């Protein structure tokens, strides 16, 4: 993180600055130091061409880095490589219906912890558990459940559409067909 603080310093912004604020300052500083403003002209020998080039390229670099950082604010996915050997995938293929119990046993056989899924997806472990235990009461709207299942199955490299097709009707049945779609 230290190196990022240096970038913030160069752009003369605090670390909590938004990308918009940073972009504004970037363009102001660039204008100030590339043009022939009175503040720069008066510096005379304290501002040589080399110093100017050096400063501007450091400024550009800092801006690019911060832009990248702020555009991808989500934590980097640390997907644990799931070992899918033949026998495991054969067993998964043989599953008739992806219920909560089925999902849980797949995950456990893969040696994946709920905390791993949380770390990558930011879905609270409580909700992941509720999915596996079919605690349908926890999900007031289907859209939330759906988005969680999408992330959950992607993490485990399962067939997302098939899981949704098996799992969601059970949820709807529980809510007496009243759930929104």
Partner 1 sequence: MKRGKIWAVGGGKGGTGKSFITSSMGTALALKGSKTILIDADLGGANLHTFFGLNRPRYSLSDFFDKKVPLQEIILQSGIPNLGLITGSIGSLDSEGINHAQKQKLFRHIRTLDADHILIDLGAGTHNNTLDTFLLADNMIVVTVPEITALENMYHFIKSAYFRKMKFIFKTYNLNATIQDLWKNRASHNISSLKDLITHLKESSDHIRNIFDSEMSGFAVHIIVNQVRTPRDILVGLNLKSVCMNFMGLPVIYSGYSRQDDAVQKNINSKEPFMIFNRLSPVVKEVKTMTENILTGTNISVRKDLDDGCLSKIL
Nearer to partner 1, 48 or 89 (CB): 48
CB of 44: closest distance to partner 1 in angstroms?
7
Question: Is residue 159 close enough to count as binding partner 1 by CB under 8 A?
Answer: no
Q: In sequence order, which residues have a C-beta less than 8 Å from that of residue 96 and are 6 or more positions away?
A: none
CB of 56: closest distance to partner 1 in angstroms?
11
Nearer to partner 1, 12 or 113 (CB): 12
CB of 6: closest distance to partner 1 in angstroms?
13
CB of 78: closest distance to partner 1 in angstroms?
38
- Rounded CA separation 97/149 (Å): 15
CB of 67: closest distance to partner 1 in angstroms?
20
What 3-state class would DSSP assign to 138? helix
Torsion of CA 12, 17, 19, 20, to 10 degrees: -90
CA angle at 164 for the pair 162 and 167, rounded to the nearest 5°: 110
Question: How many residues of this chain bind partner 1 (CB under 8 A)?
Answer: 17
Answer left, alpha or beta for residue 48, where phi above 0 means left and psi between -120 and 50 means alpha. beta
Question: Is residue 78 close enough to count as binding partner 1 by CB under 8 A?
Answer: no
Report 31-50 residues binding partner 1 (CB under 8 A): 32, 37-48
139-175 burial code (b ≥16 CB/10 A, e <16):
beeeeebeebbebbbebbebeeeebbebbbeebeeee
**Contact by Cβ (8 Å): 98, 162:** yes
x/- string (CB under 8 A) for partner 1, residues 6-35?
Answer: ------x----------------x--x---
What are the residues binding partner 1 (CB under 8 A)?
12, 29, 32, 37-48, 51, 55
């Amino acid at each position: 993180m230290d190196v990022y603080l240096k970038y913030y310093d160069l752009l003369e912004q605090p670390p909590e600055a938004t990308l918009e604020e940073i972009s504004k300052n970037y363009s102001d500083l660039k204008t100030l130091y590339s043009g022939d403003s009175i503040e720069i002209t008066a510096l005379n020998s304290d501002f040589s061409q080399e110093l100017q080039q050096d400063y501007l390229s450091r400024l550009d670099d800092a801006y690019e880095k911060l832009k990248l950082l702020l555009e991808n604010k989500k934590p980097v996915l640390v997907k644990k490589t799931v070992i899918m050997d033949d026998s495991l995938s054969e067993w998964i293929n043989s599953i008739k219906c992806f219920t909560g119990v089925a999902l849980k046993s797949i995950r456990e056989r893969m040696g994946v912890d709920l905390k791993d899924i949380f770390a990558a997806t930011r879905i609270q472990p409580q909700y992941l558990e509720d999915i596996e235990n079919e605690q349908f009461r926890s999900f007031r709207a289907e859209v939330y459940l759906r988005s969680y299942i999408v992330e959950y199955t992607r993490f485990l490299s399962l067939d997302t559409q098939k899981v949704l097709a098996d799992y969601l009707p059970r949820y709807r049945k529980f809510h007496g067909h009243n759930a929104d779609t």
